[in-house]
């Protein structure tokens, strides 16, 4: 009982802080200095129509490399911990009810479409809302659908890790090329900026985002495959 | 409009913290943490919003010359994208550790794990 009281007291303190923040909040009427720079110079600097993409891939590209590294570490640790947990002879020892006709046929129809949509989202990341992380998550949802249909389905870890390593290495290579050929690490101007608003524009941004999409999709798929294999 | 999003975000943070502090089941604690981080993301997005403006994507409708007067702040959106991805990684790790803990003691009740208690 006292524990619950302490928790409620803590939450009351926090909510009074939040109320103070809310009462003191006044919405901005103009963009601040950094945002104004991005609004004015993104097209001239990078050629990307989506400013958020330009920030993530070019202006703050190094942070994105770190973010992808964090995801890679997560996928590795999940696979490492869960692979130790597996008991010998666990696979197939438990029989599951077969998925229904609707789910099986539906997933056969939907998986290619989901993969195509994921690829569309990460290739068009510099023009429309979306990008590598969103597209990668969509690609991985196709894996999830396949696992739902058949929980004992096994994915080739070798294929996933090859895909992931190749896209990760190419990401870093493009970054270093930017250092050599253009203004700095991960500079997108190693390729021509192209016509604003077309698919082949914004220099290396679509290439980098495609690599990020493949890498993120492979990492999410590997996490889900590890978690699914662990329940045997 | 901004205030609706801000209040929802703050309420979600508080709900998540309450759930994480009062529940005994590790899976429920993990779900509470994801609710809390969703609230944080919502607050960040709401702070970057300015009423009457549009998304930070330039095209025929929003041209470069008057972009600074017509788009909302793109920086919080980029930050939240990062936060969501990292949040997913943290959730996956928490679930993995929960599985390992279940394997050692065959229970998800956090009060049974007293090894680090003093």
Smallest CA–CA separation between A127 and chain B, in Å?
A: 7
Q: Is A22 within 8 Å of B3 when comparing Cβ atoms?
A: yes
Q: Is the pTM of this model over 0.90?
A: no
Smallest CA–CA separation between A214 and chain B, in Å?
A: 15
Q: Which of A115-119, B13-17, B55-59, B63-67 has the lowest mean pLDDT?
A: B63-67
Q: Does A144 touch chain B (CB under 8 A)?
A: no
Of all residues in chain B, what percent carry a pLDDT higher than 70? 99
Enter the ipTM. 0.82
Q: Between A107 and B65, whose confidence is greater?
A: A107
Distance CA(A9)–CA(B15), nearest Å, equals 14
Please determine, for residue B4, whether its predicted confidence score (pLDDT) is greater than 50: yes
Cβ neighbour number for residue B103 with a 10 Å cutoff:
13
Sign, CA dihedral B117-B110-B36-A228, equals: positive
Per-residue pLDDT of chain A (232 residues; tens, 9 = 90+): 788 888 899 999 999 998 998 888 888 777 888 888 888 887 777 878 888 888 888 888 888 888 989 988 998 898 888 887 555 544 545 566 777 888 888 888 999 999 999 999 988 888 888 888 899 999 999 989 988 888 777 778 888 888 888 988 898 888 888 888 877 787 777 777 777 777 777 778 888 888 999 999 998 888 888 888 776 5
In terms of C-beta density within 10 A (0-12 exposed, 13-18 middle, 19 or more buried), how is residue B60 classed?
exposed
Q: What pLDDT is stored for residue A231 in this prediction?
A: 66
For chain B positions 3-42, those within 8 Å of chain A (CB to CB) are 3, 6-7, 10, 13-14, 17-18, 21-22
Of A22, A85, A227, the CB nearest to B6: A22
> Which of A1, A15, A27 is the best residue to mutate to test the B interface, defined by the most B CB atoms within 10 Å of its own CB?
A27
Q: Is B74 within 8 Å of A55 when comparing Cβ atoms?
A: yes
Q: What pLDDT is stored for residue A85 in this prediction?
A: 59
Of all helices (H) and strands (E), which one includes residue B98? helix B74-105
Q: What pLDDT is stored for residue A191 in this prediction?
A: 77
Which residues of B are less than 8 Å from A201 in CB distance? none
Q: What pLDDT is stored for residue A89 in this prediction?
A: 47
For chain A positions 38-97, those within 8 Å of chain B (CB to CB) are 38-40, 42-44, 49-52, 55-56, 60, 63-64, 67, 70-71, 73-75, 77-78, 81-82, 85
Contacts of range B59-64, beta carbons closer than 8 Å, 24 or more positions apart: B59/A49, B59/A197, B64/A40, B64/A43, B64/A44
Q: Is B96 within 8 Å of A227 when comparing Cβ atoms?
A: yes
> Which of A10, A46, A51 is the best residue to mutate to test the B interface, defined by the most B CB atoms within 10 Å of its own CB?
A51
Of B21, B58, B88, the CB nearest to A49: B58
Q: Is A43 within 8 Å of B58 when comparing Cβ atoms?
A: yes
Q: What pLDDT is stored for residue A12 in this prediction?
A: 92
Average pLDDT across chain B, whole number: 87
Please determine, for residue B5, whether its predicted confidence score (pLDDT) is greater than 80: yes
Contacts of range A91-98, beta carbons closer than 8 Å, 24 or more positions apart: A91/A152, A91/A229, A91/A232, A92/A152, A92/A232, A93/A232, A94/A232, A96/A151, A96/A152
What is the average pLDDT across B42-61?
83
Q: Does B85 touch chain A (CB under 8 A)?
A: yes
Distance CA(B27)–CA(B14), nearest Å, equals 18
Which residues of A are less than 8 Å from B68 in CB distance? 31, 36, 39-40
Distance CA(A194)–CA(A46), nearest Å, equals 10
């Amino acid at each position: 009982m006292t524990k619950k009281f302490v928790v409620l007291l803590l939450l009351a303190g926090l909510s009074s802080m939040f109320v103070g923040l809310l009462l003191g909040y006044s919405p901005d009427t103009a963009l601040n200095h950094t945002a104004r720079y991005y609004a004015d110079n993104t097209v001239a600097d990078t050629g990307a129509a989506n400013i958020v993409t330009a920030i993530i891939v070019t202006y703050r590209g190094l942070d994105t490399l770190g973010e992808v590294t964090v995801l890679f570490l997560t996928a590795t640790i999940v696979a490492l911990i869960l692979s130790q947990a597996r008991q010998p002879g666990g696979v197939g020892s438990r029989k599951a009810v077969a998925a229904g006709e609707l789910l099986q046929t539906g997933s056969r129809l939907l998986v290619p479409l989901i993969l195509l949509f994921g690829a569309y989202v990460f290739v068009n990341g510099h023009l429309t809302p979306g990008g590598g992380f969103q597209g990668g998550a969509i690609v991985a949802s196709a894996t999830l659908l396949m696992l739902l249909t058949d929980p004992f389905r096994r994915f080739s870890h070798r294929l996933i890790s090859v895909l992931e390593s190749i896209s990760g290495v190419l990401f870093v290579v493009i970054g270093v090329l930017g250092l050599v050929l253009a203004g700095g690490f991960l500079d997108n101007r190693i390729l021509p900026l192209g016509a604003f608003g077309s698919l082949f524009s914004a220099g290396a941004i679509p290439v980098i985002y495609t690599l990020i999409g493949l890498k993120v999709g492979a990492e999410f798929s590997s996490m889900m495959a590890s978690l699914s294999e662990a329940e045997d | 409009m901004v205030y609706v999003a801000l209040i929802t975000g703050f309420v979600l943070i508080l709900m998540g913290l309450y759930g994480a502090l009062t529940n005994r089941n590790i899976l429920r604690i993990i779900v509470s943490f994801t609710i809390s981080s969703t609230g944080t993301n919502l607050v960040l997005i709401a702070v970057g919003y300015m009423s009457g403006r549009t998304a930070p994507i330039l095209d025929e409708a929003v041209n470069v010359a008057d972009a600074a007067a017509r788009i909302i702040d793109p920086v919080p959106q980029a930050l939240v994208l990062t936060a969501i991805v990292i949040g997913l990684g943290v959730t996956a790790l928490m679930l993995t550790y929960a599985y390992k803990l279940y394997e050692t003691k065959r229970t998800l009740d956090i009060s049974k794990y007293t090894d680090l208690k003093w």
